[in-house]
């Protein structure tokens, strides 16, 4: 029942009076604070790589990797412009490093992941170990690890960055530090971490907890593709196709405590049934092409295109050819906090 005119005026005067004491009435905002279901301000969106690539390369002529510290074009959700985020909790951007360049060493409390999209000859160094970056490689830089990038090849290298910047910002827990050196001096040979922690073997005195980030910091695309080829011989799940999640080999948990990543294969002609979940998800097409529906939005997508699925938006995919997708989301932290919900329609 609507308030009587005199009551409405009294309430307005009351709200103004308590505002001077930095208070506000809960009943006026309760519906937005405790909604019956998620209603994200983030919008479904798709970025076509063929349209973005010229702008990414143009950035290479305007500022050096050293000047920028990280030469990245941020993928801003159209519903969250000015906030440098692709969902309420995730950041994404396209990073470019040109031949001969180095992105100097630094570290920060935000966790980061990389998915190499184009080019070869670049490397990432994490806490004293380098790994060469090949297309499709999934690379981690866990929170507060020193990391730098360089390009010793002859062509530009572009990768997708994913970070938990908005999540860390919500806690006011962001710290960063620049190194006194531009490039880390290798302390271990390339492949050392993969051999120690990613070969069904572990150092005898290593006892990680489930929340510890993976010591393995590169998941080679070659191994990912081989796993997907093997499971493609089985019947695909009607909602997911063939979908696997990346894990910390030492614990079986997510490689990073705040972000999880998956790889998904859809055979040509396959169409998934709709599924929705509370984790907003960023998806990159590694191979193939198809059609995606997110909520009431529909797009065709192809190789290197990126799209975002906001929280509680139904997702369905139709593969026009054999298609391989990489995705990342905030699922691990939602699972830890008991917030994750998923519904297969």
pLDDT band at 322 (very low <50, low <70, confident <90, very high): very high
| Residue 277 covered by a domain | yes
Residue 138 lies in domain: 45-344
| Residue 104 covered by a domain | yes
Sheet containing 290-294, strands listed edge to edge, beginning at the edge strand earlier in sequence: 297-301, 290-294, 315-319, 275-277, 342-344
Q: What is the pLDDT of residue 212?
A: 92
Does residue 136 have a pLDDT over 70? yes
Our count of domains for the chain comes to 1
Does residue 3 have a pLDDT over 80? no
pLDDT digits (tens, 9 = 90+) for 120-132: 999 999 999 999 9
Question: In CATH, what number is assigned to the domain containing residue 169?
Answer: 2.60.120.10
pLDDT band at 105 (very low <50, low <70, confident <90, very high): very high
pLDDT band at 53 (very low <50, low <70, confident <90, very high): very high
| Residue 2 covered by a domain | no
Q: What is the pLDDT of residue 176?
A: 97
| Residue 184 covered by a domain | yes
Mean pLDDT of all residues in 169-188: 94
| Residue 24 covered by a domain | no
Mean pLDDT of all residues in 311-338: 98
Q: What is the mean pLDDT of the chain?
A: 96
Does residue 4 have a pLDDT over 80? no
| Residue 274 covered by a domain | yes
Neighbours of 190 (CB within 10 A): 14
Q: What is the pLDDT of residue 66?
A: 87
**Residue 315 and residue 273 in contact, taking contact as beta carbons nearer than 8 Å:** no
């Amino acid at each position: 029942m609507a308030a009587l005119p005199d009551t409405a005026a009294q309430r307005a005067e009351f709200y103004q009076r308590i505002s001077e004491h930095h208070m506000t009435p809960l009943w006026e905002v309760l519906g937005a604070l405790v909604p019956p279901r998620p209603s994200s301000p983030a919008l479904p969106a798709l970025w076509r790589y063929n349209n973005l690539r010229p702008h990414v390369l143009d950035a290479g002529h305007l500022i050096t990797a050293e000047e920028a510290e990280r030469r990245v074009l941020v993928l801003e959700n159209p519903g969250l412009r000015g906030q440098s985020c692709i969902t309420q909790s995730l950041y994404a951007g396209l990073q470019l490093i040109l031949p001969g360049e180095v992105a100097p060493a630094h570290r920060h409390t935000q966790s980061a992941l990389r998915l190499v999209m184009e080019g070869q000859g670049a490397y990432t160094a994490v806490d004293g170990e380098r790994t060469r970056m090949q297309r499709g490689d999934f690379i981690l830089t866990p929170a507060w690890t020193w990391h730098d990038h360089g390009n010793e090849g002859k062509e530009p290298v572009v990768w997708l960055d994913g970070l938990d910047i908005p999540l860390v910002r919500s806690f006011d827990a962001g710290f960063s530090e620049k190194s006194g050196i531009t490039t880390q001096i290798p302390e271990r040979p390339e492949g050392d971490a993969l051999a120690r922690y990613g070969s069904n073997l572990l150092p005898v005195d290593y006892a990680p907890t489930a929340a510890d980030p993976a010591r393995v910091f590169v998941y080679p695309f070659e191994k990912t593709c081989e796993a997907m080829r093997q499971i493609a011989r089985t019947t695909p799940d009607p909602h997911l196709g063939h979908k696997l999640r990346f894990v910390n080999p030492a614990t079986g948990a997510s490689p990073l405590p705040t972000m999880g990543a998956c790889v998904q294969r859809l055979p040509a002609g396959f169409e998934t049934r709709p599924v929705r979940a509370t984790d907003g998800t960023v998806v990159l097409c590694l191979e193939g092409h198809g059609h995606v529906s997110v909520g009431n939005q529909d797009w065709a997508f192809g190789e290197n295109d990126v799209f975002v699925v906001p929280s509680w938006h139904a997702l369905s995919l139709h593969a026009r050819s054999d298609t391989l997708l990489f995705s990342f989301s905030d699922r691990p932290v939602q699972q830890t906090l008991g917030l994750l919900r998923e519904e297969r329609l």
